[in-house]
Amino acid sequence: MYSKSVFTVTKKAYFIFILALFVSILLHGVGTENGYALVVRMSLEDLSREASSIVIGEVTDAQSFWEDGNIYTNVTISVEQYVKGAGGKQVTIKVLGGTVGDITQWVSDAPIFQIGERTLLFLRNDQVVGWHQGKFAIVNHELIVEDVLVDEADFINGIRGILGMPPLKIDRGPEVVPAAPVITSITPSTTAAGTRGSPPFGPGGGISDITIKGTGFGGSKGKVLIPRGYGLPAESDYIYSWSDTQIKCHIPYNAYSGDIKVKTSGGATSAAKNYVITYGAYWKQGLDHEVKWHVTNPMGENYLVNENCSNVTDELNAIKAAMNTWSTAGAKFKFSYGGSTTIKTAVYDNKNVIAWNDLAAGVLAQNSIWWTSATNGDAVESDIIFNTDYTWSTTGAAGKYDIQNIGTHELGHALFLTDLYGSKDKEKTMYGYGATGETKKRTLELDDKNGIKYIYGTTLEANLIVDEEEEIGEIPGETRLLQNQPNPFNPDTWIPYRLASDASVT
């Protein structure tokens, strides 16, 4: 349990153990394996040394505004503590993305802030170092790192050890270990993240809802801890009901496969129950459906491609191949090529653009997507920019980033599928980490396909064709169309079919 004070007395042996834990878990990267992300992967040591200041504080304000064709948000942090550096009692950072009026701009890999949350930030020049990698949400003086619940004071001392600073002394007081709750089952056995839930959270369907059964949860509502990306609080965003033996809750957007735990109101935490998130979508309260391109005209317009990659000459074919991967996945959605362009920046101009340009340090590729709440969450534009600071290839060459590989992932974001970071997600196209020479994201896994099918509906052809030269007895008088995927079923699914002869259809 968390102590009364972070600043008084501790045992030297305990600090040595905690520092060893942080060195083994965090020096090699804030993630699940070594390698690179779609932002370049940074270790805790990288974050600590690159940051000019490391602050802990509460998000007190967020003001979004238009600037040069993009929406930015000034996020104000009321600073409680400087772990590194010094400064005033308030810090304001500028983040790409936000909402102005009916228009929201969502940017892949950018950190997301919520007013009222406590957070630990690695900052340089009023920017978050490593994008979402440099933001950690703090809930009840704890952070989730590598699916491990870590005490805030221990995390701070891990950073101080990296920087060669003496540890803060911790008075944990007399340790009281309450009886731990026990999770016996979670149903359904797998589900998607971020889709609509049961009322009052959603318009119905309960697709991202789970039921946790067990013992010792207590009569008062606690928390359901769930692995979550983008520096967001790693917990369920809505609990429908809570009893000593059963909890019903919603899986939030940007959650991913990993260990689910129950934490009681008294602070006792259950053992982990590993859980698989099949795919992630994005539904926002107040909308009738998940955010997506309009069903009857999915893209609104084509993607224009600027073939300005200096490393290759066949980038267009790689982009077209990435588009085709999603277009042939069996959903009622198709990407299309609309011709060449000289545009090389992401800007809100009613044109969907793919190009190469200089991006922030550490960002491999960036998808800026604009959508409007005026029409229940319809997307209006997507611009994908590949970073010219990195070397690109179309053959999966070692030491280079494969255009089709990264492009397929970024186009998944254009469909409003979110990143997944769990060890059981690593074969999926929407797995949020990649590497040079990697090509496995070129091919969709079943969960990737089911994600796009859920959001846009399934196109399934059932043809009953009779060969004119073949004599037959009777023409079938009844045809049944059976749906077997995606699971869960999207009520918007469209199934075209042909009959063998003229007949009434009901």
User: Is it the case that residue 60 has pLDDT exceeding 50?
Assistant: yes
pLDDT confidence tier of residue 71, bands split at 50, 70 and 90: very high
Render pLDDT for 171-229 as a digit per residue (tens, 0 to 9).
666 666 678 999 999 999 999 999 887 877 666 667 899 999 999 999 999 999 999 88
Q: 2-11, 249-258, 432-441: which range is least confident on average?
A: 2-11
- Are 209 and 250 spatial neighbours (Cβ–Cβ below 8 Å)? yes
Q: Which residues contact 406 (CB under 8 A, 6 or more apart)?
A: 38, 364, 365, 386, 434, 441
- Are 186 and 211 spatial neighbours (Cβ–Cβ below 8 Å)? yes
Please tell me which residue, 367 or 361, carries the higher pLDDT value. 367
- Are 258 and 32 spatial neighbours (Cβ–Cβ below 8 Å)? no
Cα gap 412→330, rounded to integer Å: 14
* Mean local confidence (pLDDT), 14-32: 44
Cα gap 186→210, rounded to integer Å: 7
Please tell me which residue, 86 or 234, carries the higher pLDDT value. 86
* Positions of CATH 2.40.50 in the chain: 12-162
Distances (CA, A) of 500 to 68, 122, 166, 469, 472: 57, 66, 81, 14, 12
**Amino acid identity at 234:** A
Q: Domain 12-162 adopts which CATH fold?
A: OB fold (Dihydrolipoamide Acetyltransferase, E2P) (2.40.50)
Out of 1.10.150.20, 1.20.140.10, 3.40.1160.10, 3.40.390.10, select the CATH number for domain 303-456. Answer: 3.40.390.10
Whether omega for the bond prior to residue 200 falls within 30 degrees of 0, making it cis, is yes
* Mean local confidence (pLDDT), 108-124: 92
Cα gap 207→191, rounded to integer Å: 7
3-state secondary structure of 367: strand
Structure tokens at 408: 């397929």
Q: What pTM was estimated for this model as a whole?
A: 0.82
Question: Going by DSSP bridges, is the β-strand pair 352-357/433-434 parallel, antiparallel, or unpaired?
Answer: unpaired
Phi, psi at 132, each rounded to 5°: -65, -20
The pLDDT of residue 11 is 39
* Positions of CATH 3.40.390.10 in the chain: 303-456
Question: CA angle 473-475-477, nearest 5°?
Answer: 130
Distances (CA, A) of 462 to 70, 77, 91, 467, 492: 45, 57, 60, 16, 17
- Nearest residue to 188 (alpha-carbon basis) of 277, 263, 272: 277
Residue reference for tokens 């989730």: 144
Q: Where are the alpha helices (DSSP H) in 105-237?
A: 152-162
Render pLDDT for 287-329 as a digit per residue (tens, 0 to 9).
777 888 876 666 666 899 999 999 999 999 999 999 999 999 9
Phi, psi at 238, each rounded to 5°: -160, 125
Render pLDDT for 223-258 as a digit per residue (tens, 0 to 9).
999 998 877 888 998 899 999 999 999 999 889 999
Cα gap 292→491, rounded to integer Å: 15
Other CB atoms closer than 10 Å to residue 125's CB: what's the count? Answer: 9
- Nearest residue to 38 (alpha-carbon basis) of 421, 356, 364: 364
Phi, psi at 330, each rounded to 5°: 100, 10
* Positions of CATH 2.60.40.10 in the chain: 182-280
Q: Which residues contact 314 (CB under 8 A, 6 or more apart)?
A: 394
b or e along 440-460 (b: 16 or more beta carbons within 10 Å of the residue's beta carbon)? bbbebbebbbbbbbbbbbbbb
Render pLDDT for 345-354 as a digit per residue (tens, 0 to 9).
999 999 999 9
Q: Which residues contact 86 (CB under 8 A, 6 or more apart)?
A: 53
User: Is it the case that residue 90 has pLDDT exceeding 80?
Assistant: yes
CATH of domain 182-280: 2.60.40.10
